[in-house]
Structures are given as C-alpha cells and as structure tokens.
Amino acid sequence: MEPREIYVAGEWVAGEAEPIAVSNPYTDREVAQVGAASAEQVRAACRAAKRAFNEYRRWSAHRRAEAVARLRDGVRERREELAQILVRECGKPLTLARAEVERCLETLSLAAEGPRFLTGHEVPLDASPVGEGMLGLARRVPLGPIAAITPFNFPLNLTAHKLGPALAVGCTVVHKPASATPLDAFVLAEILSGLELPPGTYNLVPGRGAEVGEPLCASGELRAVSFTGSGEVGRWLAARAGLKKLTLELGSTAAAIVAADADLDFAVPRLVRGAFGFAGQSCISLQRAFVERKIFDDFRDRFVAETRTLAVGDPAREDVLVGPMISAAEADRALAWISEAKEQGAVVLTGGTREGNVVQPTVLVGVRLEMKVVEREVFAPVVSLVPYDTLDEAVAWTNRNDYGLNLSIFTKNLDAALRSAEELEAGAVLVNESPTWRADIMPYGGVKGSGMGREGTRYAFRELT
C-alpha cells in the first residue's frame, strides 16, 4: 500500500519520515498509509506559509470569503465520502459521522461570512488632552501564519474551526492532523489545491506527536498555535511556543447538575446520549451527573434503563450510537479505570465490559469524588452518578477539579439556573441541555486546565487578528 503524499507549498511530495498506518478501530485492519513529514519538511512548510501570507493577506475580503465558500462547496460535493472516511478512520458511528460533515459545512458557511463583518472601531483620541482635534481608527489585520493541530475525535469539523476562520481573515496555515485520523485532511487538501490560492496558504504535515510538534512550536515563521487535544500535550506545546499566541482547548470532565424539579422525561435521554455517543470520546461528553438526593433513585433507574436501549457495535450501521474506542490501548485504559473504581468501592450498574475495542456504556454509583473516573478526564463511555443534598454542594463538587469547559444544570427554577451559571467555573453553562451540546456559532473554550482562547467562527476571528 503506497502512502499518500503530504502537501507543502502547493505541491504533493513524499513524506520523509516513516509512513503512518491508519487502521479501522472497529476491525483493527489497516485502511490506508499516509506520508509523514520530517522536521525539515515541517520547517519548509512554515517558510512556505510565511511566503504565502505576504501575498494572501492582501487579498480582498470578498476573495477570501469566496475561497472559504468554495472549500465548503467542495466538502458538500464529497460529503458522503467524508462521512465514510470518519467511520473507517476513527470508528465514528455513521449517523454521527454524517452529522459531523453537516457541522463542517455550517462552520465553513459561518467562516465565509466573516470577512464581510470583521470591522475595526473608532478611537476617540480627543478624549485625551494630547489628542485634541484628532481622530483614531483601529482596524483588525491578520495575525500571520499559524499552526493548526487537530485531534482524532472530530477531525473534520475541528479542522474547519481552525482552517475556515484563518483563511477568512487572511492567515495561512500549517496543519498537523491527529496521526490516527489524518485521511479527511487529505480530502480538504485536495479541494484546496484546486482553489488557486498562493502556494503555501495551506500545508498538510502529518506526523507523530513531537516529531512534528517540536519544529512547529519552534518555528520563528509562525505567529500562533491553535491546538485541540489533551492537557498534557497542551502544556508541552505552551512551554515551547515562546511568544506565539495560543488557543488551547484541553478537555474536561463534563458534568450536569440535575435538580429535583427537573423534567426527567426530557433530561435523561439527552444526558444518556451526551454521555455515550461516539463512546464518550468528546471533550464535553457527560462524565459526572450530580443528582438531587430526593430524585436520585428514580433518575438512576431511568438512566440505566435508557442506557441499555442504546445500539452498540459496528459504526457502519446506521442505528449504532456507541462504536469502538479509537484503539485497543484506549479500551484497555477505560477498563482499567473501571476496575480500579470497583476495587475502591464503586458499583457498576450496567456495562463495564468490552468486545474487541468496543467498551459497553458503563454507569457507576458509589463513587468518591477523588476517584480517577470522577476527578480525571475519562474519555470513554463511563458515567458516574452522585447524589447531592444542596445546590451549594453540587456546585462545589462540580468545580472541585482543574477542568472547566462545558457544564449544565437541569431545573425549572430560573433563580437556580442563573445562580449556577454565575458560580460554575466553565467556558459555557447550559440550562436544560446536556453539556455535550454545542452550536458551531457559539464561543467555545474553557477556563482553568481546560485551556485558553475561544473558537466558534466570529470568536476565532478575534483570536487570529
């Protein structure tokens, strides 16, 4: 199987590092090989991005908007191909894969509108005595060439969230996709190669972790790094990025508070799907549910019953919601965390087993807050249910660790909802919705150990200018 070539400075070239084998996580069979960039090829891509920036930054707003719109149109023409790639390379259930493609189209549509509305502002210089008779105008300009480093779990839409706004505002991009899921990026590169952009406007440099990340961060040609991934890698990148502007989305232990007055017919199905869709491999998959004690038993029984209705298995089936973990190693880790929780006193109400790389949706009770499955990001189909007595207690427990991306509360009490939104430490607090919910138009990013900066097209425009 010949490896795919990488894309640097407007040319398809052979990767100089050891090729990457891409496997279907459900079957464990190899589906493709892709070239991997050497450190020197990464540096060449950064130089190409800088050269291209000197031309592309001067493109008019309507030309940049048209480029992003044409990228979107190319994705639309290949939407089913891209969905099938997502099924094969990351084990995403087909229905969710198609939904990701549709989200990508929406993200690129929103990005294409950006150049028409990205404005500066008037500065009232005469408000200062030294500015008497003067008028100031501030305008936003593109930051420069950027590195985009994307994760395995939403390889298409999260690339669109970095690439679309960058191209819209006039930045050029060096893109490192996750080594487990690079195939959709090659489709994007193929589309972009036909748009007559300045050579080097988009560069695709697949590779393994630090082999590509180190020269990207060390590059003096780049002005920003936009990264989505683990906290450990995010901190590693930040330590090496120097004065580059950073946008870091580093995961979470997403939680929901369920008050006694919540509509459980409404809440439970949303929370179950938010917990277990795509095997819980989203940064905002529900991991912790704090439930008011007076309804805890009812909620627990409903939650377990709803969990047992989920279709689990082959992601190519349209009815499946829970497919495989991204690798056998990740499935091993999930089972090890469950076993450790059981040894420490937790009780498994359903799940806790695996078949191949598929981990059954798992519901735990009897957990303690310091347990790994509660305190750290599990990134697997594992949810802990915890009873609470007062809202103050629930808020304190939710805030106790170092994450803060999306959180939610289910209640009919407006005062409780607004109070929780004020006191919960998170980038977003959703009311009567799963913390896993996200609209691509909204600001998205975390606080504390969940990162810095914001995505969501109009908010990314600010980060990149």
With 0-12 / 13-18 / 19 or more C-beta atoms within 10 angstroms meaning exposed / middle / buried, residue 27 is middle
DSSP structural state of residue 88: H
Catalytic residue among 171, 283, 306, 330: 283
Instruction: Work out whether strand 245-249 and strand 224-228 pair parallel, antiparallel, or are unpaired.
Output: parallel
One-letter identity of residue 178: A
What is the CA angle 71-77-79, rounded to 5?
Answer: 95
Tell me the CB-side half-sphere exposure of residue 392, using CA atoms within 13 A: 0
**3-state SS track over 128-191:** CHHHCCCCEEECCCCCCCEEEECCCCCCCHHHHHHHHHHHHHCCCEEEECCCCCCHHHHHHHHH
Instruction: Work out whether strand 121-123 and strand 30-36 pair parallel, antiparallel, or are unpaired.
Output: unpaired
Task: Please indicate whether residue 104 is annotated as part of the active site.
Answer: no
The residues facing 175 across adjacent strands are: 148, 204
d(CA 64, CA 116): 10
Helices (H) and strands (E) in the chain, counts: 15, 21
Here the tokens at position 225 are 């790094």
Task: Please indicate whether residue 283 is annotated as part of the active site.
Answer: yes
Catalytic residue among 89, 211, 249, 433: 249
The H-or-E segment that residue 15 falls in is: none
Could you give the 3-state DSSP secondary structure of residue 96?
A: helix
Here the tokens at position 48 are 């190409």
- Among 171, 210, 252, CA closest to 448: 252
Residues near 157 by beta carbon (within 8 Å), at least 6 away in sequence: 100, 103, 104, 107, 440
- Is the distance from CB of 410 to CB of 257 less than 8 angstroms? yes
DSSP structural state of residue 280: G
- Among 418, 417, 404, 433, CA closest to 259: 417
Active site residues: 249, 283
